[in-house]
Structure 1
Amino acid sequence: MRRRKSGLYRRLAWIFWLTAIAGTGFVWYLADRSVPDRISIIENQQEEFAFPLLWKTTLSSGSTEVALGNESNIPADEITISSSEPFSIFAGEKGSYQVDLKLLGLIKFKDIQVDVVDTQYAVPCGTPIGIYLKSNGIMVIGTGRVTGEDGVETEPAYGRLKSGDYIEAFNGAPLSTKEELIQKVENWEGGQASLTIRREGETMEVALDPVKGSDGQYKLGAWVRDDTQGIGTITYVDPNGNFGALGHGISDSDTGELVEIENGALYTAKIMGVEKGEAGKPGLLSGVIYYGPQSCMGEISSNTEDGIFGKVNQQFKKELSGEPVEIARRQEVKPGPAVIRTTVSGETKDYSVEIQKVDYSATKKNKTMVLKVTDPELLAFTGGIVQGLSGTPILQDGKLVGAVTHVFVQDPTRGYGILAEDMLKYEE
């Protein structure tokens, strides 16, 4: 009987401690997500903050340019606060600094990057744009079999090339287009060939034997692509003509990899129709892109996880309407009412949305916000967020706070957004 009771007590003790550890870990996780990894403060200004922590916390500044203050309002390099007690940060000269957080003054919790900046402005756009990207090298999207002139099937590129590789040269001769590669291979006279490829940022040489096909031409047995195009939305244009669009990067449709680009261009686009979104089936904007010198609207210089960036030209500036607005700093973006600006209906209009969540510590910056479309007119027209609206600017309290990036497949009225500050960092 005693043994049974002893065993029961041990099991209960284990359950208690496991529950306590899990509970502590969950609370720690929630606290970590609610405290931003990075904040921005205007140069020579003071701003007030409050972090929803359950424990007494010590904050310390590692620079004289960032001074801390609490109820005493006396600037210091270290202060102690309890729970959600407000405190202030004064920022001096522009730059990036660090504030350290310690729980109970002992346990290292988090480092916060403090960016001291100027007030930034940009014109929110929301206009559809045609996007053309030229890849930096010829992208391999897969390998396949080749039927030789003897009728035997082989796969010469298997195990040598893989999806996401970029072919830069054939037998030492630089390549810039897939047509150049095809010509080099078709004119091959047999034997082993050498390809210069870039794989995950590393350049290497790969040897393989092109196969003479049943049509008499040599083939590598690889599917390749050297460009990509589509329709997206311009988020903003700043006073210097720099633009940001999409709020997420452009990935290859076959490999899923972010396209490494050599250059790119913006072109005039026109929306021709809308396929409404519904649960389990994202909607889609369909349209046409007008290519040609007169339709070029700017140059794309980078394709990143947080959007595409570059400069618009004079033609785009002539058609640009609207006044510059202030860019909201990350800590200013709050759950609550907001609007998105889009020309999906043929005219530029603001539609009501609700920012439901702001995760300052999100792993993917293009999924920092969760928003829900609440405007009856937009819901009736598109069903919510559809493919092609990526990059649509989000405004709150008259400031540009971010851009729409993704739709929830099972609920097209909801989607993700990126903070404007995280897009503007590429303009630095």
Structure 2
Amino acid sequence: MNKQTRKILLGWFCSALVLAICLSPQFRSFTSLPSQLRISEGSQHALPLQLPFGLWVSLDQPGILKVNGDDLIGAKKYQLGIPLSLEPLQQGKVELKLSLFGLTLKKLSLEIVPSIQLVPGGQSVGVSLQSKGSMVVGFATVRNSSGSTSPGRDAGLQLGDRIMSIEGHENPSINTIGQVVDERGSTGHSITMLICRGSTELTITLTPRYCEETEKYRLGLYVRDDAVGIGTLTFVDRESLMYGALGHVITDADTGQIVEVGSGKIVRATVTSIEAGKKGMPGEKRSVFIEEHITVGSITRNTPFGIFGDILIDLTNGSNPLPIALKDQVQEGPAQIYTVIEGENVENFDIEIQRVSRQQYTPSGKGLVIKVTDPKLLEATGGIVQGMSGSPIVQNGIIVGAITHVFVNDPTRGYGIFIEWMIHESGMLEKRQETAPTFFYRRFVPLTSS
């Protein structure tokens, strides 16, 4: 073997060695460490390092964090064949360094934030949401002896437009719109309405036309002023007296537009039967409202991360609060969901968190991928079904998130949202701040995007 051949083989060997090291679980456990980490006070967090050698660990200030049970003063060497345990002692910021031979290999900025405890839900709730303004969801043709026309479409109205006022009537209901149209039309007057299209307000004038089929004056519009359905209560906060549910936004069934909150409420609901899910055909909880006249909670926010409002009747009465996990603390592995499959009885069912996407910059309702593993739930529902949205996910006695969506082609699997995102959108931190201003709740979930 000549010298040139040896050089080529040595080069290939070194390249293969470097590639093998880079692809090894040990190397990837180190490179996948985040540069920033947020942990709630009083919890524990494990850095999943799997290195065959030790590293020196140091903190830039003592008294805020324990490492493997040690309150570090200076640097200490730890063997990293097992995860490095971090135990917050108090709120604050600290920088952790990992070093070898005096060289800093990794810096990790840690922020210790206040601990939050919530009561997990799981109860089925009826949702009744009245929109802010009546939404245009379709057009109709008005026919009479003069011909066929659609005054609404001809005036430039579009699907998803919200009628905010009509002839001085603010946030008009469907009945109010119908009465005004018929009254103005019968006297030969046009109608002026204020509509909201996205963030733009427009004033539109149009003339009702007589419909021979209904014997009334019409605009040729289909409008909707409410949304009704079944979901699951995620949590109750007994400090702010607020709740969160669903884990996703309520949209209009025809236009897909977000329903802007005018008013709304949640009420008790009972599950009467289950239509099990199948591949390509999501299942459903068949439920009915109970004592619809009794409001369990108001609806003040309808957001991409759920609905929120003030709780008036605590359906979780008797249950104990649990700590919540920040997104950096959620781990892949076994967990449970709380939900109802019969009547009003909340049960715990086993699942597996199969994937965790930290979503550092783009929060969404799909940060978790979960799989139902509980035999009882699989037999009853086939997995995740409609009406389970909002069912809390609990891991090791800590609330980590809620179910949001089912995989259509695999009903045993679905998406979940981090509880951290729901808390941020709920407004409960601001309300806690009002009642207990000495706590720094506002720095709990500092999102920059949504």
* TM-score > 0.5 by shorter chain: yes
CA distance in 2, matches of 1:393, 1:37: 29
- Residue in 2 that maps onto 1:180: 176
Q: Is the 8 A contact 2:261 2:299 kept in 1?
A: no
Please state how far the C-alpha of 1:92 moved relative to its aligned partner. 7.3
Unaligned runs of 5+ in 2: 1-27, 51-63, 76-82, 96-107, 430-450
Q: Could you tell me which of 195, 198, 207 is aligned with 1:197?
A: 195
SS in 2 for 1:367: coil
CA 1:37–1:202 in structure 2 vs 1: closer, same or farther (change >3 Å)? farther
Q: Is the 8 A contact 2:40 2:88 kept in 1?
A: no
CA distance in 2, matches of 1:206, 1:113: 55
TM-score norm. by structure 2 comes to 0.72
SS in 2 for 1:296: coil
CA distance in 2, matches of 1:244, 1:252: 20
Is 1:270 the counterpart of 2:277? The answer is no
Is 1:326 the counterpart of 2:327? The answer is no
Please state how far the C-alpha of 1:89 moved relative to its aligned partner. 11
CA distance in 2, matches of 1:47, 1:180: 57
> What one-letter code is carried by the residue in structure 1 that aligns with 2:310?
K
Please state how far the C-alpha of 1:320 moved relative to its aligned partner. 2.3
Q: Is the 8 A contact 1:391 1:405 kept in 2?
A: yes
Query: Deviations along 1:366-386, whole A, 9 cap, x unmatched?
Result: 110000001111100000000
> What one-letter code is carried by the residue in structure 2 that aligns with 1:422?
W
Q: Could you tell me which of 148, 152, 156 is aligned with 2:148?
A: 152
- Residue in 2 that maps onto 1:126: 122
Please state how far the C-alpha of 1:155 moved relative to its aligned partner. 4.8
CA distance in 2, matches of 1:177, 1:382: 38
Unaligned runs of 5+ in 1: 1-29, 53-65, 77-84, 100-111
- Residue in 2 that maps onto 1:102: none
- Residue in 2 that maps onto 1:358: 356
Q: Is the 8 A contact 1:36 1:360 kept in 2?
A: no
- Pairing 1:385-400 to 2, within 5 Å after superposition: 385-400=384-399
CA 1:45–1:354 in structure 2 vs 1: closer, same or farther (change >3 Å)? closer
CA distance in 1, matches of 2:415, 2:305: 12
CA distance in 2, matches of 1:196, 1:34: 53
- Residue in 2 that maps onto 1:15: none
Q: Is the 8 A contact 2:163 2:172 kept in 1?
A: no
CA 1:216–1:377 in structure 2 vs 1: closer, same or farther (change >3 Å)? closer
Q: After superposing the two structures, state which structure 1 stretch, 415-424 or 164-173, moved more.
A: 164-173
Q: Is the 8 A contact 2:91 2:114 kept in 1?
A: no
- Pairing 1:220-231 to 2, within 5 Å after superposition: 220-231=219-230
CA 1:407–1:168 in structure 2 vs 1: closer, same or farther (change >3 Å)? same
Q: Is the 8 A contact 1:143 1:161 kept in 2?
A: no
Q: Is the 8 A contact 1:232 1:388 kept in 2?
A: yes
Q: Is the 8 A contact 1:368 1:417 kept in 2?
A: yes
CA distance in 1, matches of 2:354, 2:140: 46
CA distance in 2, matches of 1:175, 1:42: 43
CA 1:91–1:184 in structure 2 vs 1: closer, same or farther (change >3 Å)? farther
CA distance in 2, matches of 1:113, 1:368: 22
- Residue in 2 that maps onto 1:3: none
- Equivalent residues, number: 372
CA 1:116–1:162 in structure 2 vs 1: closer, same or farther (change >3 Å)? farther
- Residue in 2 that maps onto 1:342: 339
Is 1:237 the counterpart of 2:236? The answer is yes
CA distance in 2, matches of 1:175, 1:207: 17
Please state how far the C-alpha of 1:342 moved relative to its aligned partner. 1.4
Please state how far the C-alpha of 1:331 moved relative to its aligned partner. 1.1
Is 1:279 the counterpart of 2:279? The answer is yes
TM-score norm. by structure 1 comes to 0.75
> What one-letter code is carried by the residue in structure 2 that aligns with 1:257?
Q
CA distance in 1, matches of 2:356, 2:389: 18
Q: Is the 8 A contact 1:249 1:304 kept in 2?
A: yes
Q: Could you tell me which of 40, 45, 48 is aligned with 1:42?
A: 40
Please state how far the C-alpha of 1:140 moved relative to its aligned partner. 1.1
Please state how far the C-alpha of 1:115 moved relative to its aligned partner. 6.3
> What one-letter code is carried by the residue in structure 1 that aligns with 2:359?
S
- Residue in 1 that maps onto 2:161: 165
CA distance in 2, matches of 1:377, 1:87: 36
CA distance in 1, matches of 2:123, 2:42: 36
SS in 2 for 1:160: coil
Query: Deviations along 1:341-368, whole A, 9 cap, x unmatched?
Result: 1121343221110000011127452110
SS in 2 for 1:182: helix
Please state how far the C-alpha of 1:158 moved relative to its aligned partner. 4.2
Query: Deviations along 1:42-85, whole A, 9 cap, x unmatched?
Result: 36999775799xxxxxxxxxxxxx99x9xxx6799xxxxxxxx9
Q: Is the 8 A contact 2:331 2:353 kept in 1?
A: yes
CA distance in 2, matches of 1:367, 1:47: 23
CA 1:45–1:274 in structure 2 vs 1: closer, same or farther (change >3 Å)? closer
SS in 1 for 2:422: helix
Q: Is the 8 A contact 1:39 1:329 kept in 2?
A: no
CA 1:328–1:42 in structure 2 vs 1: closer, same or farther (change >3 Å)? closer
Please state how far the C-alpha of 1:216 moved relative to its aligned partner. 4.4
* Aligned alpha-carbon RMSD (Å): 4.0
Q: Is the 8 A contact 1:341 1:349 kept in 2?
A: yes
CA distance in 2, matches of 1:46, 1:350: 24
CA distance in 1, matches of 2:258, 2:306: 11
Q: Is the 8 A contact 1:297 1:313 kept in 2?
A: yes
Please state how far the C-alpha of 1:36 moved relative to its aligned partner. 6.7
